[in-house]
Structure 1
């Protein structure tokens, strides 16, 4: 049995089984990336729900694992050289899990680097831009009621990014062709989130991107996706 007591986060969220992966998260677009990947990989893990309402992501215990105070974060008791490792940033966690298992990434080096490019495309583009769109369109609508610029700016950038994906996915089943990878897992929760979380489907114009919409449905139809998008469950 592994001793995870050196990780202060386990004092606030004790591990029932310290011998399996500990996930600290919430069912947001970034959070479900990791739970979906864990489900796809069949890795045993214990989810811990981080309560944004109580600002738990800013607690000293959580910040001890992720100094940036954002979900998700993770402890793998069987990290490199068999030693526990703590990780944060969803893209980095996805890549770690893929490399750890040798799954959800291409076997050849060139394919892996191309996949990494698309993961970074999500991290640096789709996530931040969709997030800003959602913030101004849904959560700060009253504050910008007399200024259409913020919503228009991020709506247009969301459209542009979907256009990039549309061209990539024409004639492809997945981002990397015939193989489902962490690139798909990184991207699809944000596309889904723009609809179900931000209610922006019509404003962004999802129907203008049929290849993306077909791909999104294929992603959502996977059993691991159907389970992972609801983890951690409400207590």
Structure 2
């Protein structure tokens, strides 16, 4: 059984999509990041960066003590290797999947995240920052669109590279992007959106909706962290 420490963010959706795709038994342990659950000592033991998602694998392949993993890309890679699914076994295919997994982790996720922040959460509208991240998000969409011109999925067959990327495209309107400008990406997006595992994963997210939180308190918890947050 996999224990999934989860909240309804793009990085959280990556793991529920994977687990639903492969049929690996798991239980969700909600970590409400708007309420500060990510700072609880029991969560920090498995995710020292106070970010979701994180997992505990109580049945590692080789037995022994449970294994904890934090960071969504590391979790996807760990689970793919554990199950032997959604990652190629040949070296060339594996390298290509890892390239695009790291592309999402280092590029699309952080840039789209800053796009979200300056467009939706920043207390003041900074035109330079908004333009910077909207344009960079668009550039990354164009890179993905070009990659998908001659292949159904990002690295050939459906893989953890697609699973990592899809949730960051879901809020495309919030990122000031139009999928009609990227026809190959749009075709790919609609294909993954219709997969039964994707549908089930997002239904799990809907089930976790809670009462509205204090927006000022949530903003402070999410965006005003510093070294003191970690050291206290």
**TM-score range normalised by the length of the shorter chain:** 0.7 to 0.9
Q: Aligned partners of 1:193 and 1:96: how far apart in 2?
A: 26
1:6-21 matched pairs, under 5 angstroms: 20-21=1-2
Q: Aligned partners of 1:103 and 1:57: how far apart in 2?
A: 30
1:214 aligned partner:
187
Q: 2:28 aligns with which of 44, 47, 54?
A: 47
> Can you list the C-alpha shifts for 1:127-149, whole angstroms capped at 9, x where unaligned?
00000001111111x412xx310
Q: 2:76 aligns with which of 60, 80, 94?
A: 94
Is structure 2 residue 77 aligned with structure 1 residue 77?
A: no
Secondary structure of 2:69's aligned partner: strand
Q: Aligned partners of 1:222 and 1:100: how far apart in 2?
A: 22
Q: How many residues are matched?
A: 207
Q: TM-score, normalised by structure 2?
A: 0.86
2:213 aligned partner:
none
2:138 aligned partner:
159
Secondary structure of 2:204's aligned partner: coil
Q: Deviation above 4 Å: which 4+ runs of structure 1?
A: none
> Can you list the C-alpha shifts for 1:173-212, whole angstroms capped at 9, x where unaligned?
11122x11000000010011333xxx23xx2233211110
Q: Aligned partners of 2:102 and 2:203: how far apart in 1?
A: 24
Contact 1:47 1:231 in 2 (8 A): no
Contact 1:174 1:215 in 2 (8 A): yes
1:192 aligned partner:
170
Contact 2:172 2:179 in 1 (8 A): no
Is structure 2 residue 199 aligned with structure 1 residue 226?
A: yes
In structure 1, stretches of 5+ residues that fail to align are 1-19
Q: 2:102 aligns with which of 114, 117, 120?
A: 120
Q: TM-score, normalised by structure 1?
A: 0.85
Q: Aligned partners of 1:90 and 1:230: how far apart in 2?
A: 20
In structure 2, stretches of 5+ residues that fail to align are 211-232
Contact 1:21 1:45 in 2 (8 A): yes
1:170 aligned partner:
149
Q: Aligned partners of 2:179 and 2:127: how far apart in 1?
A: 20
Secondary structure of 1:82's aligned partner: coil
Secondary structure of 1:67's aligned partner: coil
RMSD: 1.3
Q: Aligned partners of 2:129 and 2:102: how far apart in 1?
A: 24
